[in-house]
Amino acid sequence: MAEIVPLGEAVRELVHDGDVVALEGFTHLIPNAAGHELIRQGRRELTLVRMTPDVVYDQLIGMSCARKLVFSWGGNPGVGSLHRLRDAVEHDWPGPLELEEHSHAGMAAGYAAGASGFPFGIVRGYEGTDLAERTRVRWIECPFTGEQLAAVPAIRPDVGIVHAQQADEAGNVQLWGISGVQKEAVLASRRSIVTVEEIVPALEPRPTAVFLPGWTITAVALAPGGAHPSYAHGYYDRDNAFYLRWDEISRDRESFRAWMERHVLDREASPV
C-alpha cells in the first residue's frame, strides 16, 4: 500500500545515486517537481530513462545528475534542441553522457515487457537502420512463420516516477487525458513515486482514466503544479511560453546555471 509522504522524503528514501530512474510523461503530466527534487538533493550517476526527454531531463543532465540517457526522442517539443543534452553529447559538458537510443515503438515495447514480467518485447522495426547497432536490439525468428523480428530488452527501472491529477487517502492514483507510458513505467519499476495535484476523498471514474492501485505504488507525494511547465489535464494548461523561453535560458551555460540556482536550488520542495 502506497505511503503518502512529502516529496523530499520520497526522493531521499527511494532514489539512490547510480539508480536507473524513469520520470515518464508524454508531453502531459511530466513530473517536473520530482525532477527538481532530484537536482536539489544532488543525485549523481543516474541512468535516466524516458521516451521523450524534455526540459526536466535537460536540467538533470546540465546539473550533473546523469551518467546515461535511455531515450527515443530528445528535444524541446515544438521548439527545437535541448541545449544541455546537446552540450553533454557534443562537448562532454558538464560531463560525458552515455546514450542508449531506441525508436518509440521499441521503447514502448520495452516498457510493456517490463510491466508484464517478460524479459523482452518484440517490434517489427529497426531493420536496415544504423539504429540497430546503437541500441540494445537482437534479432529473433518467428517459430511459426520464420519472419525476423527485433527483440528489445524489458525496461525495468529501479524507480519509476510519474505525476497524476489525483490520489485518494489510500494512495490509489488516477490520471486522465493523454496517459503515455505512465502505467507501464510504474508497473515495470521496482519502486515508484507518484506526485499528484491533489488528494481527494474518493476517486470518481472518468473517461480515458488510468487507475493505479495503491498497492502497486511505493510512495505518493502531494505536488500541486508539479507538472509545470507541462500541463495537468483539468488543472492547468501547458506553459508554451516557458518552453520557448527555455530555448534562450538553456542555450548558454551561465544563464542556465543562474536560472537553476534561482528557480530550483534555492527553492524548497513543494510544501505538504
Partner 1 sequence: MTVATPMYTADEMMAVAAARRLRNGTVCFVGIGLPSQAANLARATHAPESVLIYESGTIGAKPRHLPLSIGDGALAETADAVVSVPEIFSYWLQGGRIDVGFLGAAQIDPHGNLNSTVIGDYERPKVRLPGAGGAPEIAAWCHETFVMLRQTTRTFVERLDFLTTVGRPRGGGAGVTCVVTDLGMLEPDAQTGELVMTELYPDVTAEDARQATGWELKVAPETRTVEPPSDVELEALRALEPTTGETVRT
Q: Which of residues 243-272 bind partner 1 (CB under 8 A)?
A: 243-244
Secondary structure letter of residue 236 according to DSSP: B
Among 130, 133, 145, 202, the residue binding its own copies under the rule CB under 8 A is 145
C-alpha 86/C-alpha 81 separation (Å) is 7
> Residue ranges of the alpha helices (H) in the chain?
7-14, 32-40, 55-62, 83-91, 104-116, 131-134, 182-188, 240-251, 253-260
Stretch that binds its own copies, among 22-30, 57-65, 86-94, 139-147 (CB under 8 A): 139-147
Among 209, 210, 264, 272, the residue binding its own copies under the rule CB under 8 A is 209
If one asks whether residue 134 binds its own copies (CB under 8 A), the answer comes out as: no
Kindly state the cell numbers that stand for 228: 509545470
Shortest separation between residue 203's beta carbon and partner 1, angstroms: 8
Can you tell me which residue has the cell 510519474?
162
Kindly state the cell numbers that stand for 151: 527483440
- Cβ neighbours of residue 253 closer than 8 Å, sequence gap 6 or more: 62, 87, 93
User: Residues binding its own copies: what is the number (CB under 8 A)?
Assistant: 23
Residues numbered 44-83 forming contacts with partner 1, rule: CB under 8 A: 51-52, 71-75, 77-79, 81
Nearer to partner 1, 42 or 213 (CB): 213
Query: What residue 66 binds from partner 1, its own copies, none (CB within 5 to 8 A, per partner kind)?
Result: none
If one asks whether residue 21 binds its own copies (CB under 8 A), the answer comes out as: no
C-alpha 125/C-alpha 81 separation (Å) is 26
Nearer to partner 1, 16 or 104 (CB): 104
Shortest separation between residue 102's beta carbon and partner 1, angstroms: 7
- Taking CA 255 as the corner, what is the angle to CA 252 and CA 256, rounded to the nearest 5 degrees? 80
Among 89, 199, 264, 272, the residue binding partner 1 under the rule CB under 8 A is 89
> Contact letters (x/-) for its own copies, 151-190, by CB under 8 A?
x-x-------------------------------------
The β-bridge relationship of strands 173-175 and 159-168 is: antiparallel
